[in-house]
Amino acid sequence: MIEIIETAPLNAVHDLGRLGTRCYGIGRSGAMDRVALAAGNAMLGNDANAAGIEVQLFPIVLRFTVDTMVAVTGADAGALLDGVPVPAFWAMPVKAGQELELVSPADGMRSYVTVAGGIDVPVVLGSRTTALRDAFGGFQGRALKAGDMLPIGAAPALAAREAAGFGAASPWHAVTRPACGDAAPDDITLRVVPAGEYEQYDEPSQAALWAQPWTVTTQSNRQGYRLQGDKALVRQPLEMRSHGIVPGVVQVPPSGQPIIQLSDGNSAGGYPKIGVVIDADLWRVAQAAPGRRLRFVPCTPALAREAERELAHYLDTLRRQSAWVRRAA
């Protein structure tokens, strides 16, 4: 078991998401940074879709009631195991009674704690993820709170060849950054495929989409990120009916300031779509805190598939290399 000793609001159990239910009005949900969760599972030899803890508000303190092995991925949140610092993207053995604390990220937005065997909450509609808005799935359909006891799935007893554990390169260093010529070093660049209503925007708006930075506002959450730019996007007036949308869709409300739909986004909406952030770049959005600047880079479906292959190679390599530095306990 993992005992929740202390937690901020909104931290919850998630896997990679609930697929095949959008036709019933139920969105994907799941980890915002799906790459970080998958990386933690790869380091531990879990199934890629095993459930872990997404930490988006800090601090959180966990106590382990059994000997096991855990990984901490995503944002570097100043993790401490019994007071000893733990780097980001690190897997390590833990003993029963030890406590893991995640304090606060110096950079990034969300951290993930995975455990050998995964968190063994019930599968609901094909997923263990928490649908926070609809109050089902995950652990009792809600965010975690102090005193919760999370069951751990069955797994072989594991240890690291080095007592302190082992680390991995984060995707920020291991995966190619989308090229944007005039982007500042701290800008997060995202590949975007023009969407259905792109041609309905005037040329200055189309140019502004790619040319200017977009700042993540404080009105951003797991449902969507609201952005702010100097130049609003102007579209020809046209009545639209609600239509299906997916994570990554960039919608433009009447204000002309875009919204990126994310994990807990609606299954349908009526705002026009100017673009879609490719799935292989959504983990970058998940780590963008309010105030961070995003830059959009034009992309084609073929380039999006190449990006998916690069991410798959990163995770496959991580799984193979981690198998070399784990051993049976």
Kindly list the distances between the CA atom of residue 282 and the CA atoms of 69, 307, 308, 309, in Å, as whole numbers in the listed order.
Answer: 28, 12, 11, 15
Does residue 174 lie in a domain region? no
CATH of the domain at 256: 2.40.100.10
**pTM for the structure as a whole:** 0.95
Structural domain contains residue 176: no
Judge whether residue 80 has pLDDT over 90. Answer: yes
* 15 and 119, same domain (yes or no): yes
324 and 273, same structural domain? no
Do 105 and 32 reside in the same domain of the chain? yes
Tell me, letter by letter, the H, E, C secondary structure of 111-156: EEEEECCCECCCCECCECCEECCCCEECCCCCCCCCCCEECECCCC
217-260: pLDDT as tens digits: 999 999 999 999 999 998 877 667 888 889 999 999 999 999 99
Do 134 and 38 fall within a single domain? yes
Q: Which domain holds residue 110?
A: 2-168+312-328
182 occurs within a structural domain? no
Query: Do 223 and 123 lie in a common domain?
Result: no
User: In 10 A of CB 294, how many CB atoms?
Assistant: 23
Q: What is the pLDDT of residue 329?
A: 67
135 and 256 in a single domain? The answer is no
* 320 & 284 share domain: no
126 and 44 assigned to the same domain: yes
Does a structural domain hold residue 77?
Answer: yes
Task: Report how many domains make up the chain.
Answer: 2
Nearest to 16 by CA among 126, 121, 120, 117: 126
- Residue 269: pLDDT band (50, 70, 90) is confident
Same domain, 101 and 213: no
Residues 211 and 156 in one domain: no
pLDDT, tens digit (0-9, with 9 covering 90-100), for 84-99: 999 999 999 999 999 9
Residue 229 lies in a domain: yes
C-alpha 251/C-alpha 257 separation (Å) is 9
205 and 113 housed in the same domain: no
* Domain shared by 220 and 138, yes or no: no
Q: What is the pLDDT of residues 28-63, one digit of tens each?
A: 999 999 999 999 999 999 999 999 999 999 999 999
Mean pLDDT taken over the chain: 94
Lowest mean pLDDT among 124-133, 188-197, 235-244: 235-244
Kindly give, in sequence order, each residue whose CB lies less than 8 Å from that of residue 246, ignoring residues fewer than 6 positions away: 22, 28, 261, 265, 276
